[in-house]
Amino acid sequence: MNLNDIYTAAADLIAAKIDLPADEIRAALVRPPQPEMGDLGFPCFTLAKKLRAAPPKIAADLAAQISVAEPFIKITAVGGYVNFTLSLAALGEVAVAAALADDWGEFADNGKTVVIDFSSPNIAKPLAVHHIRSTMLGAALARLYAITGWRVVTINHLGDWGTNFGQLMVAYTRAKNSGETPATDLDAQLKLYLEYHQAAETNPALEGEARAWFKKLEDGDAETVKMWKIFVDESVKGLQKLYDRLNVKFDHYTGESFFNDKMAATQRRLQDAGLLVKSDGALVVELQDVGIDAPCLIQKTDGATTYATRDLAAAEYRHHEYNFDKCLYVVANQQELHFRQIFAVLKKMGYAWADGGEHVKFGMLSFAAGVFGEERATGSTRKGQIIFLDAVLARAVEKAREIIGANGRGDEGNAAILAEQVGVGAVIFSEFMQRRQKDVIFSWDKALNMQGDSGPYLQYTHARLSSLITKSGVVVGGGDAQLLTSALSRAVLLMLAEFPRVLLGATAENEPSRVAEYLLELCAVFNRLYADKKEHQIITDDAALTASRIDLVAAVRNTLRRGLAVLGIAAPEKM
Ligand code: ARG
């Protein structure tokens, strides 16, 4: 049993008395504003017209008709609401027993599939800042969907095709011609990228050369394709190191080049559907009739295919391969028009499944002054503000080490591992401190604030609770929730019980920040109890009470651990 089942039970009780579907009642249930009022409430306001009675009257009649039984101990009318109060036994089951089980927060297989396209950086140029956000958001979404019962397919739609490669090849051959043997790993590629742009400033002819290289690549010239392949493989290798560090995995790396041989068929289908229109020598799909002014560009004047055509081919391919119910694109706000166009064109092609497409947008990330240099940095490559995620992580780990050391809690043997967990965790968590569509300004003070609202703070709370459990010597799972009678304990229990519903809500909104917010609130509620040593001493002379309180502590600890895991953050045992 979890809290969802309890909501269902309440809805069924009401549905038996009035003419409304149980699902609708269930969706209308709310949390009363004051804990004394009850644990969940059914608002009677919308019934007033139909029943021709005032909401308080309806609520009072309903409450009088429903007989009280487990999992409820009280059902009363409060204003226009019918409020239900849970028994401690039921609360113990959904908040403690459930939280101590291995499958806490997990939902049964729902038979649905979600494809998540995230990170998807353009390679052959430095990793852009928005890809950091896409990477962490996408990875958290993948875990959220998995825990709530979806089959998840993760895809890295690498930008592995384009004139950038021509530029690299120019720089590479120039270096070679001057007698060097240039390396090709990610760092070397970055150097080539910078060398090209520096040289092209005084020698514009290089642009033509880069285009010529790319043309050779598109024409399938064997040597050029070989060189391209080396650059791509090395890039992916470099990226993977970063992904490993962030605990991110992809089921498929099907980048833009993967669709080179699939676009002709897509274009033919567009043609056959009568959707292609000539416009100044280019081919487009008009979308004005569906409220989008800008037409979707399918083929450029020079015959080259486009980003949009690749995405159309990719969507068809994904639907064919994975038969998805949802296909998420975790991509910055800036590409809103692009995805509106893609979904609209797919609809025009007659694909009902296009409704499953969703652009999971997010705002801009920038770095406060002092993180990278004197000025606030937005990571614009053109302005030379290249942000290396690697460097951010390294600095974060260094800083974490200082903090852990200063707190005097560093376990020397594990100090390096711990610093990595805390530093990386701080960077990841800062991604989830606000709704995804908001812009983020990253600063060390916020990311590493040990006093609250940060990843390290949650990690620290987790570690503190873990040591408390160990120190108590009590075996977890032997308590009785009915002994947890105080108002503060009840608040913690109710908060715990919410966890599975929070996961569901975060998934429905594609909003991992909801999990972060919940974890901070859970800590806040628990810390209020923990600080109240007089009333809530955890380890007491009463063995049964101690066992029950330790169970509560362990339930909070497990919830923190599970929640942090969903966000991709490690939960250290000691700190
Ligand atoms: N490579 C693109 C960029 O860097 C993002 C790709 C997102 N995914 C997609 N299917 N279009 O802006």
Residue 378 pLDDT more than 70?
Answer: no
- Dist CA 87 CA 492 (whole Å): 15
The stretches of 436-542 forming alpha helices (DSSP H) are 444-447, 455-472, 487-497, 499-508, 513-531, 533-536
Architecture of the domain delimited by 390-567: Orthogonal Bundle (1.10)
Q: Which of 50-59, 113-122, 438-447 has the lowest mean pLDDT?
A: 438-447
Query: Which residue from 381, 123, 119 is spatially nearest to 228, judged by alpha carbons?
Result: 123
Task: Specify whether the backbone of 484 is left (phi greater than 0), alpha (psi in -120 to 50) or beta.
Answer: beta
- Dist CA 101 CA 87 (whole Å): 20
Per DSSP bridges, beta strands 365-367 and 357-360 are unpaired
Mean pLDDT of 138-144: 98
Indicate the burial class of 66 (C-beta count within 10 angstroms; 0-12, 13-18, 19 or more): middle
Instruction: Give the closest residue (by CA) to ligand 1 atom 6.
Output: 120
Mean pLDDT of 558-568: 98
- Dist CA 358 CA 425 (whole Å): 28
Query: Which residue from 474, 569, 492 is spatially nearest to 529, judged by alpha carbons?
Result: 492
Phi and psi angles of residue 346, each rounded to the nearest 5 degrees, phi first: -60, -40
- Res 186: pLDDT: 86
Per residue in 210-239, pLDDT (tens digit) is 999 999 999 999 999 999 999 999 999 989
Per residue in 159-199, pLDDT (tens digit) is 999 888 999 999 999 999 999 999 999 888 988 988 999 99
Mean pLDDT of 421-432: 94
Residue 63 pLDDT more than 90?
Answer: yes
Residue 79 pLDDT more than 70?
Answer: yes
Query: Which residue from 141, 138, 119, 140 is spatially nearest to 130, judged by alpha carbons?
Result: 119
154 Cα: distance to centroid of ligand 1 (angstroms): 14
What is the rounded average pLDDT for all residues in the chain? 93
The alpha carbon of residue 299 and the mean position of all alpha carbons in its chain are separated, in whole angstroms, by 34
- Res 305: pLDDT: 87
2 Cα: distance to centroid of ligand 1 (angstroms): 39
Which residues 6+ apart lie within 8 Å of 322 measured at CB? 113, 115, 153
Q: Which residues of 117-147 are buried (b: 16+ CB within 10 A; e: fewer)?
A: bbbbbbbbbbbbbbbbbbbbbbbbbbbbbbb
Residue range(s) in the chain whose domain bears CATH number 3.30.1360.70: 3-86
Mean pLDDT of 468-478: 96
Residue 252 pLDDT more than 60?
Answer: yes
229-to-163, 171, 184 alpha-carbon distances in Å: 14, 16, 11
- Dist CA 359 CA 170 (whole Å): 36
Label residue 367 by pLDDT band (50, 70, 90). Answer: confident
Residue 381 pLDDT more than 70?
Answer: no
70 Cα: distance to centroid of ligand 1 (angstroms): 52
Beta carbons of 429 and 250 less than 8 angstroms apart: no
**Percent of the chain residues past pLDDT 90, beyond the cut:** 81
Q: Which of 58-72, 77-91, 408-422, 475-489 has the lowest mean pLDDT?
A: 408-422
121 Cα: distance to centroid of ligand 1 (angstroms): 6
Highest mean pLDDT range out of 21-35, 298-312, 551-565? 551-565
Provide residues with CB under 6 Å of ligand 1: 117, 120-122, 157, 159, 311, 314, 329, 331
CB atoms within 10 A of CB 559: 26
Mean pLDDT of 28-38: 93
**Which atom of ligand 1 has the smallest separation from the CA of 128?**
4
Instruction: Give the closest residue (by CA) to ligand 1 atom 11.
Output: 311
Q: What is the pTM of this model?
A: 0.93
CATH code for the domain defined by 3-86:
3.30.1360.70
- Dist CA 73 CA 87 (whole Å): 5
Q: Which residues of 251-264 are buried (b: 16+ CB within 10 A; e: fewer)?
A: ebbbbbbbbeebbe
119 Cα: distance to centroid of ligand 1 (angstroms): 8
Instruction: Give the closest residue (by CA) to ligand 1 atom 5.
Output: 120
Mutation probe of ligand 1 site: the residue of 118, 120, 131, 235 with most atoms within 8 A of C-beta: 120
Indicate the burial class of 149 (C-beta count within 10 angstroms; 0-12, 13-18, 19 or more): middle
Residue 382 pLDDT more than 80?
Answer: no
- Res 258: pLDDT: 97
Mean pLDDT of 307-333: 97
Residue range(s) in the chain whose domain bears CATH number 1.10.730.10: 390-567
